[in-house]
Each structure stands twice: as C-alpha cells, then as structure tokens.
Structure 1
C-alpha cells in the first residue's frame, strides 16, 4: 500500500467509532497494521492483545477464566488480593460479569487483569422493610454490570427491582410488563453514586406481571 493511499485510509479510519475501528483491524493484515502503527485505537481503553477470556459454562455455575500461559500468573480467577477476605476462592459469590469486569458478592467490582477493585456505595433500597436485616426478596441478586471499554473507561451497575410477591392477582393479570416507563437505580463509576433513572420501553410488552411471576 503506497504512502498516499495509506494517508487516505488513515484519514477515513480516524472518523470511525471505536467499535467499528476495532472491527476494521480484522479486514486484512494491511488494515490491521495501519490501525496499530498509527495508534488509532485508544490503547488505554482497548488493548491490542487478548491475554484472557471469561466464559460461562452453565447458567448456574461460576464463569471460567482462560488465560495465556505467559499471563496466567497474574491474570487469575482467584480473588485473594481483596482486603476483606484473603481466602476468596474462584469468583466467590459472582453476580455478573461484562467485558472483563466482575461484580461479586458484597457489591464489589473487580478487574482480574489489573487486580483493581472497588466497592459500590450502599444502594437506596427499593423495598418497604424498615431495616436492612430483613429482605422482601426484591433486592437480592438483581444488579447487572454494564461495561464497554471501546466507549468509556467507566462502568455502570443497574439495579432492577423484582416484582413484589404480594401484588393482587387481578393487578398482576392486567398490568403489562415491563411497563412503558420504568425507574431504576443506576450506579456510575464516573460519579461514584447511585442515581434514579427513568427508562422508556421500546416495542410491545413481553407479557403481564402474572407471566413474569409464574
């Protein structure tokens, strides 16, 4: 590829969003070399090498981590570097994971590659119980991690309340789910706080509250 054509290609690639730019590296060897040589991808957000991968073998089992032999010593599934419990096993109490980050019990977000971790602040409880020693069942294991390193170095955690068990049967049969408008608490690592956020449903409802409960 001559210099003039390379300059034109680089100028075009610079205008692509990070996700499309990452996909462009797979077109051919020349495109991959062009993207890497000119450092068009933000290396701090999207590393150019794959050192490990997390995958789920079964829904009820903890995820499994595969790492290269050269990186297996420091990218490990053991979390014994966490302060509160040096005896942590492999992904103990894992709630969710997304693009290399883990959300584990006690609301801790961990990056196994860097061994950095952070605890989420207390969640504004959505249930009506007066103390934290009792639970209505709506606040258990329903936090979901969202992280896209091609877009931002920050992550979010969504708290999605479950449908109360004491909903009247007639209400459950006639109320669509999810509703057209729904408010949830969302944590952002950028602000380090939870914020109640309203969401609008796209398309038709999946069913009724009764369908979900049953």
Structure 2
C-alpha cells in the first residue's frame, strides 16, 4: 500500500506544494489521487502562467526555421528556445503560426502539417490533417480552466485568378516577363471545394464532448442539427461563387480540433448583427497587409471569446460558449491598412490594436464593450522620431539574446547576473535624457507585453526595444538577426509572437 494513500488531502497538498514546479507538474501523472489533489487545491496555478514574457518567437523572411529572441532569467526551470525536437524543424520551412498561453502551433499552410507544442515542457503532438484548403489556424488554451486546447480553422477568401493570354511569340513573351510568386499562385485558387453534404457529415449524430475537459465547448444538440440540415452548403461555408455574397456568411460552419477528442469536428456559429463586407470588398484587402507581411493575421483569446483579425479590415469575435459571432471593424480601413502594420494583441487592459504608419507613427487602440456597444478607443498616438526613441546605446549592454547564436559551439553564454532579470517597471530602463547616439530609423511592431502597457518594437534592422507607452521610457533589448541569415534585400521578419510560459498542458509526445 502506498503510504500517501493514508494521508488526508490537505496534508498531501502541503507536501506536494513544496516540490519544484516541474516536479509538481509531473506528480500529476504519478497517481490519480495526486492529480486530483493538485487540481482541487490549484497548486500549479501560481506557476501555470507566471505572468512574464520569456522572449519573442520570430518568423523570418526566406529563412528555414523560427528563432527565439530570449530574455535570460535566473528562474528555474529555464525555457529552452530550441524547437529542434519538432519534426522538420531543421529541414523544412515551417513557421510559428499562433501562440496562446504557453502553447504554439508550428507548421506550414502549404502542406497543412501542424504541430502543437509547449516549449516550457518540451512536449508536442501533431494535428490530424484537415480535409480543407485555404484556412488559417488559431489556438484557444486556458490552463486555469482545462489542460486541453482547441484549434480553430478560419477559412480565407481565395482570390480569383485572372486568365492571362498565352504568349504566341518571343516579342509577346518579353512583354509578359515579370516577377511572380508561385506560393500565392497555388494559394489563390478559384474556389474552395464544397464540403461534404451536411446530412452525411452528421449521419451518426454529433459526438459528445465533456464540458469539464474542454474550454467552454458547445455540443450540437438535436434541434440545432435539424437547423443545420436545413441550411445549404453555401450558407454554412460561405462559398465564394458570388462576389456580392456576404463574408463571412450569416451561419458559419468552422472546423475545430479538440485535444480532448483528438478529432476535427464541425462547429456552427451564427452571426449577430449585419454583415460588414462582401466577398468582393474583402478581396480588395491584400493578402499581405504590408510589403513585408505578416502572412497571417493575429488572434487573441480573451474571457471566453476568440478575436481574429481577418482580411477585410475587420475582427471576428467568436463567442465560444454561445455559438455566436460578431464582426467589428478595425480602427483603420482597408486602404489605410496597406500603409500601416496592423497588429491585434492582448495587454494589461484586454484587447489592443496597434499600427505603425510610415515606419514612425505609432497608434494604439483599446477594445471596449459597454452596454452592448462595441468600440475602439485611441489611447496612444506617438511620433517615433530619434528624439523620443533611443538608438544604439553606448554603455548599456544588450540584455536579450538570440537563442543558439551567442557561442560558436551553439550554446548560450550567460550575459551577466545584472542583465539577467528585466524589471519592466523601472530599473534597467533607459531614460530619454541619457547620452545616446541618434540616427534616422524606421520602426516595426513586434508585439504587446500581455500584462503591462509595454510594446516591443524593431528599430531599423533587427534591433529590439521595449517601449513603455505611459512613460516613453525605452529598454534596449539587443539584436535578433541570426548569424547564418544570408545578406539580401529580402531580409526581414514575417511575424513575432511574445511568449509567455506555461508549465502544464496535456501533449502526447516528449521532446
């Protein structure tokens, strides 16, 4: 007999809470009784989301893998930013697709091969292939509610391919020459294929999901099933034959993967309010908001809702518990988005939206829901000129490093105890009155600090800074250009994801 079985739950909880964080997390797998005690007494809660940013995962243009721009820490366990344990990490052009509360989606839209991983625990699992095309994947994960996650496949509006007359001679061929993007050619298909007939899809009835194991999951009841069967495939999927059709459709059928069932399933969301755009107007918004990306629009999971920045200059607000969704125009229109760098994120007060116009004008809005009314409130309008930003500090050393680039043998040297802990409140922050060199610079938006009103910016080429929105103070982080990144005009970043660690999450494979 196990001696711990004779202990009262409170006594066992007092013993387990003395374990290091990683051992405490592992103890949940030793015995069911231990797992129950850890969960009931919420022993992992202070460690599940430490409310700290460990770094930024960066996708680079034309570079074979993402890299981790890390903040050194004396805390244990240290976060290993090398994702080499994932299949294809060192051989393919896979990218980080999304991040939510410590979990990442890693994969490629071309092969529809995706993995969900937790860098803090170095565990991962692959997602089953989805029988669909032209979609973006987004994570929903709240470890304070459930160890399980969901992945939402949000369909894109494909472009219409304009027929081009085939050149008949060399003279016409010379006029036809020019740059082309094969990736976009394959992505911009005429139309997505129709989904299976809904009656056939639900022939055996919907699968039952446990509300205790999923995050606000809504099962499809019999009455809903009858309503779904009455809808045409066009109403459910938004088939884009008609350019004047509403987008998204009033009844939107989405594919959702649940880690509790290990399957993709259909989830119906019904629109609240009027449509904002048609297929034709959405197509006016370029696939890439700006010349240098990002390829993906960002998403945020916040208080039971998934917010997705979609092509067409609007945000879809999916109310996961109610099976409804709302459309919210962004603070900028389609034309403005072509000259800015729109970024949807989460920070201290909830949902934020930021743009950088002309590489130097930063604007930040906060999302408000009050009395049933939805609006954006402009909170910051900042001119990022050399007099308000710090460039190339003389005496303060960089405090962050690009994982794997510090030593020639591939290991990461310690940058010094004084630089290992970043107090983002005040100390270790550079004052704009200090003596530093200034230079003509351009700025790109990298992300929000999820718990404080701080934004991460790229200054000129691959120099990272943290900018305090309320005090205008700046912390120089360091350079995040990989040493083996070739020199070329296309060098740059696609996307960045501020990474917050999580010490739990039920993933099947161990790295």
Shared topology, TM-score over 0.5?
yes
Alignment of 1:192-207 (within 5 A): 192-207=262-277
Going by fraction, where is strand more abundant, 1 or 2? 2
Alignment of 1:1-214 (within 5 A): 42-44=42-44, 47=47, 49-50=50-51, 52-55=53-56, 66-71=70-75, 74-82=78-86, 84-85=87-88, 87=90, 92-105=94-107, 106-125=113-132, 127=133, 138-139=134-135, 142-165=136-159, 166=190, 171-173=242-244, 175-214=245-284
Give the Cα–Cα distance (whole angstroms) in 1 for the partners of residues 251 and 258 of structure 2: 21
Give the Cα–Cα distance (whole angstroms) in 2 for the partners of residues 76 and 115 of structure 1: 8
1:44-91 Cα shifts (integer Å, max 9, x gaps): 456263464355789989685544522587412210122x346379x9
Compared with structure 1, are the counterparts of its residues 71 and 207 closer, same or farther at alpha carbon in structure 2 (3 Å cutoff)? same
- 8 Å contact from structure 2 (residues 59, 95) kept in 1: no
Give the Cα–Cα distance (whole angstroms) in 2 for the partners of residues 185 and 170 of structure 1: 21
Give the Cα–Cα distance (whole angstroms) in 2 for the partners of residues 158 and 40 of structure 1: 29
5+ residue gaps in structure 1? Answer: 1-38, 128-137
Compared with structure 1, are the counterparts of its residues 192 and 40 closer, same or farther at alpha carbon in structure 2 (3 Å cutoff)? closer
- 8 Å contact from structure 2 (residues 140, 149) kept in 1: yes
Structure possessing the higher radius of gyration over alpha carbons = 2
Task: Tell me which stretches of 4 or more aligned residues in structure 1 moved more than 6 Å.
Answer: 56-61, 167-170
Compared with structure 1, are the counterparts of its residues 161 and 153 closer, same or farther at alpha carbon in structure 2 (3 Å cutoff)? same
Give the Cα–Cα distance (whole angstroms) in 2 for the partners of residues 205 and 199 of structure 1: 14
- 8 Å contact from structure 1 (residues 51, 71) kept in 2: no
- 8 Å contact from structure 2 (residues 57, 68) kept in 1: yes
Residue 205 of structure 1 aligns to a residue whose secondary structure is coil
CA deviation after TM superposition for structure 1 residue 185, in Å: 0.6
1:15-55 Cα shifts (integer Å, max 9, x gaps): xxxxxxxxxxxxxxxxxxxxxxxx98723456263464355
Q: TM-score, normalised by structure 2?
A: 0.27
Residue 95 of structure 1 aligns to a residue whose secondary structure is strand
User: Root-mean-square deviation (CA), in Å?
Assistant: 3.7
Give the Cα–Cα distance (whole angstroms) in 2 for the partners of residues 114 and 197 of structure 1: 30
Q: TM-score, normalised by structure 1?
A: 0.60
User: Higher RCO, 1 or 2 (CA under 8 Å, sep at least 6)?
Assistant: 2
Give the Cα–Cα distance (whole angstroms) in 2 for the partners of residues 57 and 80 of structure 1: 15
Give the Cα–Cα distance (whole angstroms) in 2 for the partners of residues 209 and 146 of structure 1: 27
Compared with structure 1, are the counterparts of its residues 85 and 54 closer, same or farther at alpha carbon in structure 2 (3 Å cutoff)? same
CA deviation after TM superposition for structure 1 residue 196, in Å: 1.2
Give the Cα–Cα distance (whole angstroms) in 2 for the partners of residues 97 and 70 of structure 1: 24
Count matched residues.
160
- 8 Å contact from structure 1 (residues 65, 76) kept in 2: no
Give the Cα–Cα distance (whole angstroms) in 1 for the partners of residues 70 and 99 of structure 2: 15
